[in-house]
Structure 1
């Protein structure tokens, strides 16, 4: 019997008392297995992009993370699979060498069955440690970090697999039973929400010194001056991006950054990834579907988002402008737990209230990914988690329809290179006042 990840996580959130660490661990780990359940062994080793990874590798790497960072703190622990340490390390050079990222799809061995058995062994040992109270404060912190890390990989499993299946000439669906969204009133014209110049607090208190989890790249919390600006009340829609295409947006070099224009020419970009050439359908995790004009446009690179914003006489928001608005809104929306696994249109909330800041699509910002003043990475090898990628990338905010519910917050900073298109990434317009 297949259990959906949404059902598992809803069951946990429905409890009258907060889940224990052991219960949360089981729920997150089972959610990954639920996402992988529709896959064959052949599906699970597909890799169609150098920056993507096979589903089998995601399942193994997240287990390796728990084994190294949690079980590795236990006296006398020996690696469960010593020969796999290089295979499933990602980029922790302080730990040791790692198999080349672009060649993860060549790892036909170990088999999917062996990887699943390895997961079960790790889970058994983690469970034993939790029941016996053997995990000290550092190990428990690493366990909490590992749960957040696994949720990130749950989203990557979906986005990477979507590209792999789309790359197959048959373009099969990940799941034929994914529901269509419930019809809603048209999204309507975007409304500009004006904000005066102000000083705001940005970021999250440093964890684990502060009990509430946040990644190290979200801290320290600090004050910034946000200039007067306006934000659109919703993300840009498919219909609005179609107007950019129809007006020659992909043919006008004046709209593009130089590197972006070179990409357009070299890779023949003429529409978002997964749209058909007729601009009428898009490939989804549920297969090909008619393009919903009111739904948020997705699978855009930063270059495409930036060019479209310029065409619209606007710009991308700075990440502090975005966070200052999102901090006053609940982190609720169309996340993976809703089971749609695709962005959907949402009706206006009225009175200029912002909508869809969380879920549906990650929103590109104009902000380069860098360190906050006074940034301190996590201790030990975990310092490699975020800080060393603060070069040549842009910040995205808000989560997507493939992000697990409860994983993001207003201060959450995602980041990708500007040419990345395979994530559920879109944009919200901003302008100066």
Structure 2
């Protein structure tokens, strides 16, 4: 069984700048304004959590251990009878996943997806880790080339990377963070439809970063923030583990 290891310590801590820089190109208003925030030393996993990792969580009874779960997450898991990621199916002794290409055997080495924030947080607790903050994710990713399995590849399912050293920070799956989707310091809600969208949704949701296999690459930046409610699972949502140093 493939197991994720926290084996990359990222030391660029301290007071850092976050958010989009002023530029002439397009960006979403929720990516700014540029501002400073303090980040303590932290470690991030080099790889995404895989289906094989997640199956180990299932086999260890992770969906039935309330001590791993946030109280709201446990309530959702019990109400919806969550026992595996959305679109997983068990037939006999074998696991399958319903994909955009139909029902396929579960690839144990591919990134896990279609999990809620609550499931991601419970898994991180099970591993003795946590989810990264969106600031940690941005620091980790900002100097890397934006490349990966995006919609232009026409694969439309998370893939195993065969590139040495590829951490898959971009593409494949959106990565849950522990950061609530709230306005950055100094944010002003603009007039019109953009303000109606971002201003009204900046409550009760969590930030995900990095894009997925159905995201256009031209849309992606290290500062790009998407957001979902913590119980939602239908999008290509996965996770990367983090730890305090």
Same fold (TM over 0.5): yes
Q: Which residue of 1 aligns with 2:125?
A: 310
2:144 aligned to which of 329, 345, 354: 329
* Alignment pair present for 1:227 and 2:40: yes
Q: Report deviation, 1:346.
A: 1.1
Q: Which residue of 1 aligns with 2:228?
A: 416
What is the DSSP-based 3-state SS (H/G/I as helix, E as strand, rest coil) of the residue aligned with 1:277? strand
Tell whether the 8 Å contact from 1:187 to 1:345 is kept in structure 2 after alignment: no
Q: Which has the higher contact order (CA 8 A, sep 6+)?
A: 2
Post-superposition CA distance 1:105-130 (Å, at most 9, x none):
xxxxxxxxxxxxxxxxxxxxxxxxxx
Q: Which residue of 1 aligns with 2:49?
A: 236
Q: Report deviation, 1:307.
A: 0.3
Q: Which residue of 1 aligns with 2:15?
A: 199
Segments of 5+ residues of structure 2 without an aligned counterpart are none
Counterpart CA distance in 2 for 1:232 and 1:189 is 7
Q: Which residue of 2 aligns with 1:381?
A: 193
Segments of 5+ residues of structure 1 without an aligned counterpart are 1-185
* Alignment pair present for 1:253 and 2:74: no
1:215 aligned to which of 25, 28, 38: 28
Across the aligned residues of Structure 1 and Structure 2, the Cα RMSD in angstroms comes to 1.7
- Listed as ranges, the matches of 1:316-395 within 5 Å are 316-347=131-162, 349-350=164-165, 355-395=167-207
Counterpart CA distance in 2 for 1:272 and 1:311 is 16
Counterpart CA distance in 1 for 2:175 and 2:193 is 30
What is the DSSP-based 3-state SS (H/G/I as helix, E as strand, rest coil) of the residue aligned with 1:386? helix
What is the DSSP-based 3-state SS (H/G/I as helix, E as strand, rest coil) of the residue aligned with 2:176? strand
Post-superposition CA distance 1:245-301 (Å, at most 9, x none):
000000000000111111111111000000003461100000011111110000000
Counterpart CA distance in 1 for 2:38 and 2:75 is 35
Tell whether the 8 Å contact from 2:3 to 2:52 is kept in structure 1 after alignment: no
TM-score normalised according to structure 2 size: 0.94
Q: Which residue of 1 aligns with 2:105?
A: 290
Tell whether the 8 Å contact from 1:360 to 1:401 is kept in structure 2 after alignment: yes
Counterpart CA distance in 2 for 1:310 and 1:188 is 15
Tell whether the 8 Å contact from 1:273 to 1:421 is kept in structure 2 after alignment: yes
Counterpart CA distance in 2 for 1:187 and 1:243 is 9
Q: Report deviation, 1:195.
A: 1.7
By percentage of residues, which structure has more helix? 1
Counterpart CA distance in 2 for 1:223 and 1:344 is 35
| Number of corresponding residues | 242
By percentage of residues, which structure has more strand? 2
Counterpart CA distance in 2 for 1:328 and 1:188 is 27
Counterpart CA distance in 2 for 1:424 and 1:406 is 18
2:80 aligned to which of 253, 263, 267: 267
